[in-house]
């Protein structure tokens, strides 16, 4: 299932100008929207910013938390789709790449 997260399915580049604080506060200057996220969400966003690969992210989370692979995969998929919806991940930058 992990292979579903291919480039065609999901762009995973966080907008360059997104501000992320250590407490999970996120600000998107292009839209003026602010968000809050929980510690796992923050960790994933940080890794996305560092352009970690999906495989690296998966390993990190599975090693650190009490969660099985299938559950995390489902939640990760859902979370990334929310990052799209909130425009924290941008469609435009994908095209430019």
Partner 1 sequence: MSKLPYERPVIQRLNTGSMNKFGTRTEYAPVTHIENVSVKSLISEFGSPLFVISENKIRQLYSDVTRAFKTRYPRVQFAWSYKTNYMNAVCNVFHQLGSWAEVVSGFEYNKALKNGVPGSKIIFNGPDKTDDELTLAIRNDSLIHIDHLDELYRIIELAVELKKRPKVAIRVNMDVGIYPMWDRFGFNYENGQAWDAINKIILTDKIDLVGLHAHIGTFMLSPQAYGVAASKLADLAYHTKIKFEKNIEYIDLGGGFASKNTLKGSYLKGSDSSPSFDDYAEAISTALLNAEYTKEHMPLLILESGRALIDEAGFLLGTVIANKRLSDGRRSTILDFGVNILFTAFWYDHKISPAQDFSHYTEDTVLYGPLCMNIDVVRENVTLPPMKKGDQVVVHTVGAYNMTQWMQFISLRPNIVLIDTNGKTHLIRAKESLDTLNSQERMPAHLSSFKL
Span near partner 1 by CB under 8 A; candidates 5-13, 14-22, 46-54, 78-86: 78-86
* CB nearer to partner 1: pick between 25 and 53: 25
The token duo for 81 is 């789709």
Using rule CB under 8 A, residue 38 touches partner 1? yes
Q: Of 12, 18, 26, 89, which one interacts with partner 1 (CB under 8 A)? A: 26
88 is an interface residue for partner 1 by CB under 8 A: yes
Out of 19, 51, 65, 92, which residue is the one contacting partner 1 (CB under 8 A)? Answer: 65
Q: Per residue in 32-66, is it b (16+ CB within 10 Å) or e — as a string? A: eeebebeebbbbbbebbeeebebeebbeebeeeee
The first and second tokens of residue 42, run together, are 């923050």
Q: Which of 6, 8, 66, 97 binds partner 1 (CB under 8 A)?
A: 66
Question: What is the C-alpha to C-alpha distance for residues 36 and 95, in angstroms, rounded to an integer?
Answer: 27
Beta strand 25-28 pairing with 19-20: antiparallel
By CB under 8 A, name the binding residues for partner 1.
Answer: 26, 33-41, 44, 63-67, 71-72, 75-76, 78-79, 81-83, 85-86, 88
């Amino acid at each position: 299932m992990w292979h579903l997260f291919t480039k065609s399915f999901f762009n995973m580049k966080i907008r360059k100008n997104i501000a992320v604080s250590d407490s999970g506060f996120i600000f998107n200057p292009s839209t003026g929207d602010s968000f809050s996220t929980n510690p796992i969400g923050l960790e994933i966003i940080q890794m996305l910013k560092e352009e970690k690969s999906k495989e690296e992210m998966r390993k990190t989370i599975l090693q650190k938390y009490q969660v099985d692979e299938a559950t995390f995969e489902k939640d990760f998929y859902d979370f990334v789709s929310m990052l799209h919806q909130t425009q924290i991940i941008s469609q435009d930058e994908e095209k430019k790449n």
